[in-house]
A and B are shown apart, each in its own frame.
Chain A
């Protein structure tokens, strides 16, 4: 949960855009089965992140979220060698590992927020009171969670760094792909950007998550 309303709305917009892209790709008829699962997981991830930055998100049941994200992490790792079209069997593994790390990070964050027992339906900052390992700053309903323990702080710091690293990697991919789009003087050919949109959305999601991890420190 984030106190600063500007940042909260910015992150909401960011995650909404990535979720919208994920959902669109999920329901597109041309999307393959495995990709459909990927995009559904990205959509869930974006929606969960939106919930995480708002007070009402604290009252969501954690169990199903944890199951989805742990399963998602396993999915990306296990499915990577079987994906077609990569040339070599393990070419897509680094990307899959990055996805798995972020899925695992989601599960970790949800677990951390649930560890104080927030599934009682109480909204706002009051729901977080007494949560072990976390502090709340700011007024009720507009507080920012921060970690207090050294271990969780170190994990959040590492995840922030990893997320920024993933974001840089995906952004580089996005620019590489966008550069290959046939271009007219007036701009890229419509529809040509689709290939760049995927890694761009991954990068946006990773950057948003990095910001959230930094706020937890």
Chain B
């Protein structure tokens, strides 16, 4: 199959750069207008952002396999060899965990079922957001192991999660993933637009969706592979970019503000038990806390049996997490933790003194944007559709790695090879591409980019920096070119 196009390959540096002087008219067939601007954007964004995307893809690929890795590495802690007829009451399991680990504050329990062990979390000074988790066989009350966990994640999963999110560089490291996510959708949409425009006049589904097998080895074949793979991955990559941005530092903050402004924040149950207006009105809290002064005694761990029974009676099925209050004026919360479709996130507040549900928020009642956010997070983490989700993520990661490698290969293949103008890489698209775009369109584009740059700071700031560097480079080169030889000392 031959891809005929009025838009030829990017010019080689060695063949297109004229001597200094006034810019000649664009050669016939050379990209002009929006196409030239898109090529320039796609080229520079690709070259500069791709290393970060590559790291995100590789680390994401590793993270994809965490359920299997956890099952292999932490089999002793996470699962029981023999399941009994019925699980024992959780209070006994908590007591067993406490006996094994006397220090720390009991903060949460995730009762085991099937072959899964019960997880009992203790907060310890110095662990920060992490917890010390003791694993208990729910059929025998025997402790099977202990690990330092992060919101229930094993050390290995936490390590891979940190690697993907911040390369273990803390807050500064988070910028890498936000930078990659902020630019991924630009690269995807820009690439799609270029591929679509490239086939203007000869557009068929086959040409858009299948590699050009007629093309010989060379930049045309590599571009075909790069673009067609990108087309197939586009929807998934856009979804990864969007969901990744929702929990990034800066863009994520803006997203949360937008959710709050639209009253679409994730609702939570009210845990204040008495003397509280929230409790009296049945209002929900996002960060509930006790205010009663007469009840500051810690909650009795033995009450967990009644709390769980009340929650089960109220219809809360499946895997749950029981959050233990730190005083008796605060209700216990029992929340579903089912991350597979259909996602279970119903939540209850239970008064342990009477074993009654005092507040309830069902996932079905969440605002649509909150639900979409939850589903998006689960899909991004590979839990929404189980193994199929993992496979899809792995395909996306491997595909993205291939697209990046092919992209760099194209750059290399475009290098000038003539003996007198040899260079290691191809020339970047020529400056001044904006001249081919109508001014009104450019103006709208600038305003849109400014707004986007504010919403996604790690899109806006690097772009502004690039434009400043590009502008200064152009001015400096322009001065050099227009100076007569020997005109300046």
Residues of A that sit less than 8 Å from B by CB: 6-7, 164, 167-169, 171-173, 175-176, 179, 182-190, 203, 207, 211
Contacts and interface: CB of A to CB of B under 8 A. Distances in A.
Given A6-B457, A175-B439, A187 B432 contact: yes
B101 interface: no
B215 interface: no
Contact of A179 (B439, B444, B447, B482): B439
Contact of A168 (B444, B454, B482): B444
Interface of B: 17-18, 20-23, 431-432, 434-435, 439-440, 442-444, 446-447, 450, 454, 457, 474-475, 477-482
Given A171-B446, A188-B478, 8 more contacts: A168-B444, A171-B442, A172-B439, A173-B439, A184-B22, A190-B475, A190-B478, A203-B443
Given A182-B22, A186-B20, A7 B439 contact: no
Contacts of B480: 186
Given A164-B447, A172-B440, A175-B443, A187 B21 contact: no
A186 B18 contact: no
B439 A184 contact: no
A188 B475 CA distance: 7
Contacts of B23: 183-185
A207 B439 CA distance: 17
Contacts of A184: 20-23, 478, 481-482
B482 A190 contact: yes
Contacts of A203: 443
A175 B442 contact: yes
Nearest to A188: B478
A185 B482 CA distance: 10
B478 to A, nearest CB: 4
A183 B22 contact: yes
30 contacts: A6-B457, A168-B440, A168-B443, A171-B442, A172-B443, A175-B442, A175-B443, A176-B439, A179-B435, A183-B22, A183-B432, A183-B435, A184-B20, A184-B22, A184-B23, A184-B481, A184-B482, A185-B18, A185-B21, A185-B481, A186-B480, A186-B482, A187-B431, A187-B478, A187-B481, A188-B474, A189-B478, A190-B482, A203-B443, A207-B450
**Max count, chain B CB within 10 A of own CB: residue among A6, A176, A182, A188:** A188
B174 to A, nearest CB: 15
B479 A190 contact: yes
A186 B481 contact: yes
B475 A171 contact: no
Contacts of A176: 439
Contacts of B475: 187, 190
Contacts of B435: 179, 183
Nearest to A13: B464
